[in-house]
Amino acid sequence: MPKITVTIPCYESQATLPMALASLRAQTIDDWECVIVDDGSPCDAATVVRRFGDPRFRIHTFRTNRGRPVARQKALEMARGDYICMLDADDWYYPDKLRSQLQLLEQYPRAAAVGCGVAVIDDDNRITGVRRSGGEEVQLNTGQRFRVPSLLFPTTMFRREVARDAEFDPRLQRAEDPDYLCNALAGRHYLVSPRLHYAYREIFSARALEEALIAFRCQRITFRDQLRAAPARSALKYLENLIKTGVYRLALATGRGRWLFERRNARATLRQRRMFRDHRQQVRSKLPSELTAP
């Protein structure tokens, strides 16, 4: 059985999936498998997977599009590793991501999961900023019920029993990840590493703003579910959500959306940019000759 399972839900990701898969082949440890769930894409993701010729890649295909939370749940159910990681099909890992996070979880046996910082990238795989990065100290935190942990979901490595202790809500076509994190890590310790190990694709567009509004709407479903158990907090979060929704709608109408997106990220240092370029080159070197990436 593999030590680590990496799960990838995908839909129409034929342009970016090769880089995601190549980043796994570039890892500094080999004891992993990758479960890809193609969520009914018009383009066949299995063709991309076959070109890698690597038996560690396992793919399951839905005949029709069932939504990202259902695809995530299926991948989770197929996972066989002692540790379970997430990777979105338009992102990729730094080569030392799996080794570094595995070492941290073995060093801190009380921790249920570990996350890390991200390099924010554009469509051409260029670094445009960083998020959740700074300092050198690894933080040990405790998850609280109805509070989203201070982790970036796709960067997280979970212990298997923790990951399997929660499920993705199929009603949430967006924002299914903070709901899952809340349920998986409530009352459990988790680690946050400031080191960059994950390249996260974020491109501003009117569509991205519209998807953010969908995510806000899905979050309100979660807050309504929590209303009976935590009325004061749920009502406050619901109100905050409505305010954010109004701000994003205003940004969409006035053309200020780019500022909203960019303010979430910090400027990458020269050292971070150099390391990013080095890691990107290592990942690209693992692409099959017939596949390319920016």
Q: Quick one: CA dihedral 228, 230, 236, 239, positive or negative?
A: negative
Give the pLDDT confidence score for residue 134 in this predicted structure.
65
Task: Match 């290592």 to its residue by tokens.
Answer: 282
User: How confident is the model at residue 42, as a pLDDT?
Assistant: 87
- Please give the pLDDT value at position 135: 64
Please report, in angstroms and rounded to a whole number, the separation of the first and last CA atoms in the chain. 34
- Cα Rg for the chain, rounded, in angstroms? 19
Among 5, 70, 59, residue whose Cα is nearest residue 32: 5
Residue 253: the pLDDT is 86
* Amino acid 293: pLDDT: 72
pTM reported for the whole predicted model: 0.92
Residues near 155 by beta carbon (within 8 Å), at least 6 away in sequence:
86, 115, 116, 117, 118, 197, 198, 200
| DSSP per-residue letters across 193-244 | EEEEEEEEE----HHHHHHHHHHHHHHHHHHHHTTTTSHHHHHHHHHHHHHH
- In a structure prediction context, what are the per-residue pLDDT tens digits for the chain, which is 294 residues long? 899 999 999 999 989 999 999 999 999 999 999 999 999 988 888 999 999 999 999 999 999 999 999 999 999 999 999 999 999 999 999 999 999 999 999 999 999 999 999 999 999 999 999 998 766 678 888 888 778 888 899 999 999 999 999 999 999 988 999 999 999 999 999 999 999 999 999 988 888 888 889 999 999 999 999 888 889 989 999 999 999 999 989 988 888 888 887 888 999 999 999 999 999 999 999 999 877 777
SS3 call for 110: coil
Please check whether residue 82 is in contact with residue 159, taking contact to mean a CB–CB distance below 8 angstroms.
yes
State residue 4's pLDDT score: 98
Nearest partner of 78 among 17, 33, 42, judged by Cα = 33
CA-nearest of 96, 82, 90 to 17 is: 90
| pLDDT for 125 | 94
Tokens 């017939």: give the residue. 290
